[in-house]
Amino acid sequence: MSYLERVSPQTDTELFYRTPFELLVAVVLSAQCTDKRVNLVVHDLFKEFPTPEKMAASDEETILTYIRSISYPNSKARYLIGLSRMIVERFSGQVPSTIEELTQLPGVGRKTANVIQAIAFGKPALAVDTHVYRVSHRLDMVPKSANTPYKVEMELIKHIPEAHISQAHFWLLYHGRYTCTSLRPKCSECGLNSICTYTKKSRIE
C-alpha cells in the first residue's frame, strides 16, 4: 500500500460536489459513466436542484432534461427523484450516514453507500468498484475465492489499518484508472509488476 500511497496520493473523488447530497447525486450518476461526463452535467443540475427538497419537488421528466447525456438517464432520473423524496420524508432532509440507511435509498447500493460514508462522513469504509476489484486481484491482495465486490471488501479491510481504509479505496482506484487499466495496463510504469499476477501471466504467454 505504501507504493500506491506514494504514486496515487489523492484521497478524494474527482467528481464535483459541495455537500453530501450533491456527492450522493454525483456518485449515483457516475455508475457506468465517466467522472468527466458527470461533472459536465451536474453544473447545471446543482444550480437548479442544490438540495433534496428542491429535487424532491421536481419530477423525472424535468431531471431527465439535465442528465440526458448520462448513461441510463431514465433509470437515474427515477433514482434521483426517489432518493430525494425519501431523504426529505424519512431522514428530515439530511443524507443518512449509515450503510443500512443509505442502501434504502433508490439507486444506492453498497459501493455507493461506502463512497458516501468515507467521503462525506469520514468513516472507514472501502468501496469496491471495477478498478479496486481488478487491482486487488492482480496484486494478489485478495484470494481468487473473493469473487464478488463484497468478498473483496471484506478481505481488504482485514489487512488494512482502519485509519487508512477510506484512503486505500482511492489508492487502488486511481492506480486502476490510470496505470493498471483493464485492457492495456502500463506495466512498464508500475513499480509493483514484480508481484503482479497479470504481468507474470503475460510473460508466460
Question: pLDDT tens, 98-108?
Answer: 999 999 999 99
Catalytic residue among 35, 59, 111, 123: 111
pLDDT-derived band at 172 (thresholds 50, 70, 90) equals: very high
**Amino acid letter, residue 8:** S
CATH architecture of the domain 20-121 equals Orthogonal Bundle (1.10)
pLDDT at residue 72, as a whole number:
97
The domain limits of the chain are 20-121, 126-204
Instruction: Please give the mean pLDDT across all residues of the chain.
Output: 92
Catalytic residue among 35, 129, 158, 200: 129
Whether 201 is catalytic is: no
Whether 140 is catalytic is: no
pLDDT-derived band at 10 (thresholds 50, 70, 90) equals: low
pLDDT-derived band at 153 (thresholds 50, 70, 90) equals: very high
pLDDT at residue 205, as a whole number:
45
Q: Are 119 and 23 in contact (CB under 8 A)?
A: yes
Q: Distances from the Cα of 149 to the Cαs of 32, 47, 156, 172, in angstroms? A: 16, 34, 11, 14
CATH code of the domain occupying 126-204? 1.10.1670.10
Residues 152-180 have a mean pLDDT of: 92
Put simply, whether the predicted model's pTM sits higher than 0.75 gets the answer: yes
Q: List, as own/partner pairs, every contact residues 72-77 make where C-beta atoms lie below 8 angstroms and the sequence separation is at least 24, other chains included.
A: 72/31, 72/32, 75/107, 76/28, 76/29, 76/31, 76/107
More confident residue, 193 or 103: 103
Residues 80-92 have a mean pLDDT of: 98
pLDDT > 70: percent of the chain: 95
Q: Give dist(CA 19, CA 107) in Å, integer.
A: 18
pLDDT at residue 196, as a whole number:
87
Q: List, as own/partner pairs, every contact residues 24-30 make where C-beta atoms lie below 8 angstroms and the sequence separation is at least 24, other chains included.
A: 24/83, 24/95, 24/105, 24/108, 24/112, 24/116, 24/120, 25/55, 25/80, 27/112, 27/115, 27/116, 28/76, 28/79, 28/80, 28/83, 28/107, 28/108, 28/112, 29/67, 29/70, 29/76, 29/80
Q: Do domains 20-121 and 126-204 have the same CATH topology?
A: no
pLDDT at residue 133, as a whole number:
96
pLDDT-derived band at 202 (thresholds 50, 70, 90) equals: low
Residues 124-139 have a mean pLDDT of: 94
Residue range 26-83, pLDDT digits in tens:
999 999 999 999 999 999 999 999 999 999 999 999 999 999 999 999 999 999 999 9
A 10 A CB-CB count for 201 gives 10
